[in-house]
Amino acid sequence: MAKFGRKGKGGLPQISTASLPDIVFMLLFFFMVSTVMRETTLKIEQHLPGATEVKKLERKSLVSYINIGKPKGATFQAMYGTEPRIQLNDAFAKVADIRDYVFAEREKMDENERPLMTVSLKVDDKTKMGIVVDVKQELRKASALKINYSTRKVDAIE
């Protein structure tokens, strides 16, 4: 039985922590790769509609976002009312601002990638189509013709 006897007297043997960094780094790389940085704070309520035929939006650098929805919370509602509003980057905007926004976003891209620019419309599902149609018309005027209606992936629509 001496084989299983404890060697040395008293005290726990030290656990080697040398492999701990490896494990943590593994996790770190996973999160670094899968991460998407939050770019804007939403000032509007946004419950995206569900759809089954969704496609993933690839190449984040080619995508610009337009958010539409009711102003969120009492402070914003006091300032901007409860009607759906457009949010570009961090600020509320009017329909007329969209063209400038599209041109500014396009300016940021590489010249050869500009035709691939996609505008993602993130619209709350209770919004009326009137404002969405106005936005789409503006996008057509700005020749941003590739659009994407942002939706959640669901298995079946209600």
Interface with other proteins (CB under 8 A): 17-18, 20-21, 24-25, 27-28, 31-32, 34-38, 49, 51-57, 63, 118, 120, 123-130, 132-133, 136-137, 139-141, 143, 145-153, 157
Distance in Å, CB of 145 to other proteins, minimum = 5
Nearer to other proteins, 21 or 73 (CB): 21
Nearer to other proteins, 94 or 126 (CB): 126
Nearer to other proteins, 94 or 141 (CB): 141
The answer to whether 54 and 151 are in contact (CB under 8 A) is: yes
Distance in Å, CB of 30 to other proteins, minimum = 9
- The enclosing H or E element of 14 equals none
Cα separation, 151 vs 51, whole angstroms: 6
Nearer to other proteins, 74 or 156 (CB): 156
Distance in Å, CB of 116 to other proteins, minimum = 12
For residue 74, give the nearest of 82, 84, 83, 65 by alpha carbon.
82
Residue 117 C-alpha from the chain's centroid: 16
β-pair partners for 75: none
- The enclosing H or E element of 106 equals helix 97-108
3-state secondary structure of 143: coil
Nearer to other proteins, 24 or 79 (CB): 24
Cα separation, 95 vs 150, whole angstroms: 19
Distance in Å, CB of 81 to other proteins, minimum = 16
